[in-house]
Chain A
Amino acid sequence: MANVIKLRKGLDVNLKGKASLEIMQTKVEGQYALVPDDFYGMKPKVVVKEGDAVKVGDALFVDKNHPEVKFVSPVSGTVALVERGERRKVMSVRVDADGKQEAVSFSEKDPLKLLLASGLFGFFRQRPYDVVANPEDKPKAIFVSAFNSMPLAQDFEYVLKGQEQTFQAGLSLLSKVAKVYLGISAKQKTPVLTAPKDCTVTVFDGPAPAGNVGVQINHVSPINKGEVVWTLGAEEVLFVGRLALTGKVDFSRTIAIAGSEVKAPKYAKVLVGQPLASVLAGQLDEQKSLRIINGNPMVGVKTCKEGFLAAHATEVTVIPEGDDVYEMLGWIAPRMKEFSTSRSYFSWLKPKKTEYTLDARIKGGERHMIMSGEYDRVFPMDIYAGYLVKAIISGDIDRQEALGIYEVAPEDFALAEFVDSSKLELQRIVREGLDILRKENM
C-alpha cells in the first residue's frame, strides 16, 4: 500500500468555468510556435533557418551551454519565422505545419541519450532553481506529480484514459535514468497511478498546493544543499511513454480550456505550441476586457488570442481582466461576490461548492509584510515562507540557503501570493532570488 501523506495547510479556490468532460479535436494546421522563454533558465541557440523543412522531432533551437539539450518541433512543415525581440533575443521559432506529421525515428539505446536526442529532455526541470535540467547532473530522483490541485487545472486522470500503458512505459523509461517518485491525489483511483511498476507512489491528501511537485518533494525526500532532483509533468511522462513505445515523439496534450469567460469550457486535444486561436475561436466575448492565461490562474503566464500554447501548459484559462471595474469603498463594503479567506468578507458563509468569478485585479496596494502567518497557512512545507521571502528581499544568500530556498519554486508561493494582504509579488520575488542564487553558485 502506498504511503499516504495528509496535508492540512492549503487552500482550494473554487473558480467558475471548470472544463466539462468532453474533448474537442483540433486539426494540425497553421503556424505553431516553440517559445524559448517557456524553458526557463536556458539560453537558446537557433539551429534552423527560415524556409528549412522540419519533421516532428527535428531541433529548432538548442541550449547554448548544453547543445545536447534540444528543443524540437512539435509539427512537420517549414520554418516560417525566427521571431526576435530586443537585443536579438529569440522570442519564438514558428513552423508552418504541413499536416502530415512526419516524425523522426530515434533509436538510441541509452535512456538519457534517447531523451536528449528526441528533445524530451528539455521538458525536465530541476530543483534547486526550477530551471531546465542539466544532463551532466546525477539527480537523486525524478519526481512526477500526477495531479494539479490549482483552480481550473486539468484533471490528469481524465486525460490519462486510454493511455495507461503509455504512462507506464514512460515511468519505466524514466526509472532507468534515476529513481522515480510519483505523487498522486487521494481521489485518483486508476490502477496505473495507484500501483504502477518501477516507481514509488505517495498519496497526497489535502487542499492545494498538494499537487505541487515541490510540496511532494519536501515531504518525501527534501532537497539538501548540493543535491539535485529532476521533475517532469505528468503529461510529459506520456510524451516519454510514446517515445519508448514507438521511437517517435508526439507532443499531443489534452488541455483544459477553462475559466469564467469561456462560453463552453471543455478539454481540447492539441499539440505543444498550438495557436490558441484554434481552441478559443467562438469561445470568447469579443467586447469584454479579458485575460487569457497560458496555464492556470495561479501560476500561468498572460498571453493573447494570437498567442501559442506554452510548452508546459496543461490548461488555457480566460478570466475577466477587471481593469474597467471601479468598486466604491471596497475597504468597508460587504462585496458579496468576492472570495476571501478573511472572515471580514462573507464567502465563508456560502456553501463550499459556490463558484467564484475572479478577475485579474490585485485588489489592493502593495505594502510591506504586515500580517504574520498568512503565507504559512497555505504553505504545506517545513519552511518559514515569510522569513524566506524576507531573506530574498534583503539579498541575504546564506540565510536563504539556511531557510531552504533550494527546495522551493515560484509556483509553491502561488497561494501565498493569492492570500497575501500586503499584495507582494511573491512568485516574482522568489524567481529573482533563485536566479541570483544560481548565478552565485555557478
Chain B
Amino acid sequence: MNSLRKFFDKIKPNFEEGGKLHAFRSLYDGFDTFAFVPNATAGRAGTHVHDAIDSKRIMSLVVIALVPALLFGMYNVGYQNALAAGQLENATFWGMFWFGFLAVLPKLIVSYIVGLGIEFTVAQWKNEEIHEGFLVSGIIIPMIVPVNTPLWMLAIATAFAVIFAKEIFGGTGMNIFNVALITRAFLFFSYPSSMTGDDTVWVAQHTICGLGFDVPDTFSAATPLGEIAAGASALSTSLCDQVCGFIPGSIGETSVIAIALGACLLLWTGVASWKIMLSVFVGGALTGWLYNATGLSPLTPLQHIVLGGFCFGAVFMATDPVTSARTEGGKWIYGLLIGFVAVTVRVLNPGYPEGMMLAILLMNLFAPLIDYCFVSRNISRRAKRANSK
C-alpha cells in the first residue's frame, strides 16, 4: 500500500498545473481517488466529521448488484445459442458461459471506453472531478441490448446518450433522463431492425473463438412478449424458464432470480428506494390484471412482471435516484405510473412488444412535475400559515 501511495505522490506533480501531463489531470485524479480515499479535510466552519458513505461506494454497490444478472446473462447467451443450434446435449455449462462471456465482453468494453472517455474529457475540460455515474450506466448499457447489436452502433448510441442526455445538462445528478435508457432508445429508434427486427437479434448465431455453435440462417427466435405481439395466444416457454431466465431477450433482463439478488442488495443498503420498486410492481400487476380481466391481453399479471425488461427496469432503472421523483410521496406515484404505462404500452400498442423503456423515460420526464405538486403543497401550507395570522 505504501509503495503505491509513494508512486502516486511521485507522479502527482506531472499532472498538476504546469506539469507535462496536466491534460490528463482528471485521469490521474480518477485513479488516485479510486485507489485511496481522498484525505481532504473539512473546512474551517461547518460539519467537521462526515459519514463514510460517498458516491463512489453507492455507485459501486449498484454495479455489484448488477453482477448476478450480468453473469446469468452471459450464461444465457450461450444457452440460447446451443438451444437454437439444437446442440444443447453437446454443450457444457462452462462452454456456454465462456461463449456468452466472449459475446458480451466486447460490448461491456465498448460501452465503458466510449462513456468513460467522454466523462474524463468533460471532467478535464470543466476542471472537475470525474463523476461516478457512468460506472453504473456503463454496465447497464450492454445488459439492455440484444446480443447481436453491432459494436459500432453501441458506441454511437453510448456517445449520444452520455453527451446529450447527461453532459449537456451538467453531468451526473443533473440529467433528466436515465442515460442507459437513452442509449437504448437511440438504438431502438435509429436502428429498429437491429433491436427487434426480424427476431434474429436475440440469439448469437456464430461461434466465437471456437466456442458455441453456428446456427442455421433460417433460424429466428422471438422474445415471449414478441410472440404475444405477433398474435400468439400462448407462450412457447414455461413459467419456470421465464422466472429463471432461460428465454431469449436482452442480455441482462431475462432472469428474475438474478435480478432479485441485486434488488436485495440495493434495498438492504438503501441505495434504491423501496417505495419506487414496490410501486412499479404494484402498478404493473394491477394494470396487467385489468387488461387480463377485460380480455385485452392473454398474459396474466405475473407474466407481465416476469417477462421482458419489467423486473430489470423496476429494480435498476426506475430507482435511479437522479431521474426519479425525489419527494417521498412522489415516489409512490412515479412508480405506480411506470408500472401502468409499461403494461399499457405492451398491451395497447402493437408496434412495441416491450414498454418498460418508454414507461421509465416518460416518467423521468414527469418526475419533476410530480415533485412540483408535492413541494407546492408544502409551499402553500406555509403561505396559508403566514396569511392566517
Please list the residues of chain A having a beta carbon within 8 angstroms of any beta carbon in chain B. 13, 15, 151, 222, 224-226, 291, 293, 297-302, 317, 319, 321-332, 335, 338-345, 358-373, 376, 382-384, 386-387, 402-404, 410, 414-415, 417-423, 425-428
Contact = CB atoms under 8 A, between A and B. Distances in A.
Interface string B120-140: 000000000101110000000
Contacts of A428: 43, 45-46
Given A371-B58, A372-B324, A418-B51, A402 B379 contact: yes
Nearest to B64: A332
A75 B174 CA distance: 54
A15 to B, nearest CB: 7
Given A363-B54, A372-B326, A427 B45 contact: yes
Contacts of A402: 379, 382-383
B90 interface: no
A419 B49 CA distance: 10
Given A364-B56, A419-B51, A370 B46 contact: no
B389 to A, nearest CB: 6
A373 to B, nearest CB: 6
A328 B273 CA distance: 29
B5 to A, nearest CB: 5
Nearest to B372: A387
Contacts, number: 222
B45 A421 contact: no
Contacts of B324: 372
Contact of B47 (A359, A404, A417): A417
A64 B383 CA distance: 35
Interface string B46-61: 1111111111111011
A338 B54 CA distance: 12
Contacts of A329: 34-36
Nearest to A402: B379
Interface stretch (B165-173, B208-216, B289-297): B165-173
Nearest to B1: A328
B270 to A, nearest CB: 6
A224 B45 CA distance: 28
A298 B382 CA distance: 28
A338 B51 CA distance: 8
Contacts of A371: 58, 271, 321
B37 A327 contact: yes
B54 A364 contact: yes
A222 B385 contact: yes
B41 A359 contact: yes
Contact of B174 (A151, A293, A330, A368): A368
11 contacts: A222-B382, A224-B386, A297-B47, A301-B44, A338-B52, A344-B53, A363-B37, A370-B173, A372-B325, A383-B378, A419-B53
Contacts of A224: 382, 385-386, 389
A226 B385 CA distance: 12
Contact of A384 (B54, B325, B327): B327
Give 5 closest A-B pairs by Cβ, nearest first.
A364-B54, A368-B173, A330-B37, A338-B52, A224-B386
A326 B326 contact: no
A138 to B, nearest CB: 14
Contacts of A403: 375, 378-379, 382
Contacts of B33: 365
Contacts of B49: 13, 15, 151, 297-298, 319, 358-360, 418
A360 B46 CA distance: 11
Contacts of A425: 43, 46
B322 A364 contact: no
Given A297-B48, A387-B375, A326 B389 contact: no
Contacts of A387: 326, 375
A298 B132 CA distance: 27
Contact of A418 (B47, B60, B321, B327): B47
Contacts of A382: 378, 381-382
Given A301-B45, A367-B131, A383-B378, A340 B39 contact: no
Contacts of B55: 364-365, 367, 370, 421-422
B268 interface: yes
Interface in B27-82: 33-58, 60-61
B328 interface: yes
B58 A417 contact: no
Contacts of A326: 1, 5, 36-37, 39
Given A344-B53, A368-B172, A427-B47, A323 B39 contact: yes
B54 A332 contact: no
Interface centre among B36, B45, B49, B270 (most CB of A within 10 A): B49
B207 interface: no
B44 A302 contact: yes
Contacts of B92: none
Interface centre among B35, B47, B271, B378 (most CB of A within 10 A): B47
Contacts of A365: 33, 38, 54-56, 129
Contacts of B300: none
B6 to A, nearest CB: 10
A344 B60 CA distance: 10
B269 interface: yes
Contact of A360 (B37, B42, B381): B42
A373 B326 contact: yes
B237 to A, nearest CB: 36
Nearest to B267: A343
A342 B269 contact: yes
Contact of B50 (A225, A335, A363): A363
B43 A325 contact: no
A16 to B, nearest CB: 11
B375 A328 contact: no
B165 to A, nearest CB: 15
A376 B275 CA distance: 15
Contacts of B56: 330-331, 364-365
Contacts of A417: 46-47, 50
A427 to B, nearest CB: 4
A418 B48 CA distance: 8
A71 B389 CA distance: 35
Given A300-B45, A372-B326, 10 more contacts: A224-B385, A300-B48, A339-B51, A342-B51, A345-B52, A362-B40, A370-B172, A370-B321, A372-B325, A402-B382
Nearest to A330: B37
A225 B386 contact: yes
A322 B41 contact: yes
